[in-house]
Structure 1
Amino acid sequence: MDAIKDHIAFQASALSLRERRNNMLASNIANAATPNFKARDLDFEQEMARQVGDSPLRKTSARHMDSLAGLGGSGVQFRQPLNPSLDGNTVEISVEQMEFSENSLGYMTTLTFLNRRISGLLTAIKGE
């Protein structure tokens, strides 16, 4: 069973991370009119590399800065607004909608890859 789990683990992790990011972006859109709300996001590629354990960026000295700045080890970052608002809200609806659309497309693509992996496993099990 571990072989099957290992075969789909990457896509399953990516799907879970995409879902987490979609929820974060939806929260940003929902709070677009909330004073002092800070838009949050995460860097999908860096978080995926961290989950898989194959990060392209490695600290070679204790004086080097971390590549993710934010809220602890969860990879959550605050988005820097292009046009700051007077009420302290950093949500820019056009940016959030674009990020949400892009992430939703990535979610559907990952789901397609996962379905193909599972279909391939079923074909192998049936011996077709």
Structure 2
Amino acid sequence: MAISFDKAFGVHPHAMLIRSQRAEVLASNIANADTPGYKAKDIDFASALKAAKSGQMRGNSLTRTHADHLSASTQLSSSETKFRVPNQPDTGDGNDVDVQVERNLYTQNSIEYQASLSFMNSKISGLKKALGGQGA
């Protein structure tokens, strides 16, 4: 009987990839908080996850050398990265980054990434026990 990693891990591998890319976008917002004209961006997590689960991601992709191999790619399409509606009025330089909001979103994203990582670790541990014949 073959082990289906898609069934075993569920949505978590896709979620971790998107959360990783979202962390980069949020970090870029924080880094550009003082850049005149910079507009805060974010990733629409729901649509990005839907695209990832349906295999519509693009960018770096792995070469399939056998029909049974899974296809994979590592980048979101640009439609999932959007400009955020500003929470604060324009300060005169065109920059709409609110550093406190960005830090809070970054922290929340990090916690959600860690939750998926913990889930994946427990699933892998369970699979190793099952393959090794050890009792749970």
% identity of equivalent residues: 37
Distance in 1 (alpha carbons) for counterparts of 2:47 and 2:108: 16
Deviation at 1:104, TM superposition (A): 0.6
- Relative to structure 1, the CA distance from residue 27 to residue 82 in structure 2 (aligned partners, 3 Å threshold; closer, same or farther) is same
Which segments of structure 1 move beyond 4 Å, counting only runs of 4 or more? none
Distance in 1 (alpha carbons) for counterparts of 2:110 and 2:86: 22
Gaps of 5+ in 1: 54-71
Distance in 1 (alpha carbons) for counterparts of 2:22 and 2:40: 12
Deviation at 1:102, TM superposition (A): 0.6
Match of 2:98 among 69, 81, 92: 92
Q: Is the 8 A contact 2:42 2:83 kept in 1?
A: yes
Normalized per residue, the structure richer in strand is 2
Aligned match of 2:117: 111
Q: How many residues align?
A: 110
Distance in 2 (alpha carbons) for counterparts of 1:38 and 1:2: 45
C-alpha RMSD of matched pairs (Å): 1.8
The TM-score normalised by the length of structure 1 is 0.77
Q: Is the 8 A contact 2:45 2:80 kept in 1?
A: no
Q: Deviations over 1:69-102 (max 9, x none)?
A: xxx6440010111112211111111110111111
Secondary structure, counterpart of 2:94 in structure 1: coil
Normalized per residue, the structure richer in helix is 1
